[in-house]
């Protein structure tokens, strides 16, 4: 998990990519004490993934609202493989 990148697409089309750092992972664990990384990755749920994305973009210096209002501004959250991090996605033709 640490070393992965999360991409957040906002409703207005703005895209943020942020790394899952050790500090981000620790803050995520503080809010999900009964959910291990392996269980999370095996059965991803929306809210824990959104919280991880919120913590990651916040740590990357992106100004964010409080978590719940921020959710209303998010269109999509996904993990980006290490080899593709930082490269824009190509739209299907």
Q: Would you state the torsion angle of the CA atoms of residues 34, 32, 37, 44, taken in this order, to the nearest 10 degrees?
A: 100
Helix H, strand E, coil C: the string for 22-76 is HHHHHHHHHHCCCCCHHHHHHCCCHHHHHHHHHHHHHHCCCCCCCHHHHHCCEEE
Which pLDDT value is given to residue 81? 72
For residue 90, being part of any structural domain is answered with: no
Residue 89 lies in a domain: no
Q: What is the per-residue pLDDT for 91?
A: 45
Please say if the pLDDT value at position 89 is more than 60: no
* Total structural domains within the chain: 1
Mean pLDDT of the 5-20 span: 96
93 occurs within a structural domain: no
Stretch 33-52: mean pLDDT: 77
Domain limits for position 79 = 5-84
């Amino acid at each position: 998990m640490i070393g992965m990148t999360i991409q957040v697409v906002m409703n207005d089309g703005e895209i943020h990519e942020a790394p899952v750092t050790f500090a981000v992972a620790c803050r995520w664990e503080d809010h999900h004490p009964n959910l291990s990384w392996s269980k999370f990755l095996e059965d991803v749920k929306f809210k824990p993934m959104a919280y991880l994305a919120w913590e990651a973009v916040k740590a990357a210096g992106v100004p964010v609202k409080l978590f719940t209002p921020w959710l209303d501004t998010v269109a999509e959250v996904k993990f980006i493989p290490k080899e593709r991090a930082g490269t824009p996605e190509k739209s299907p033709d």
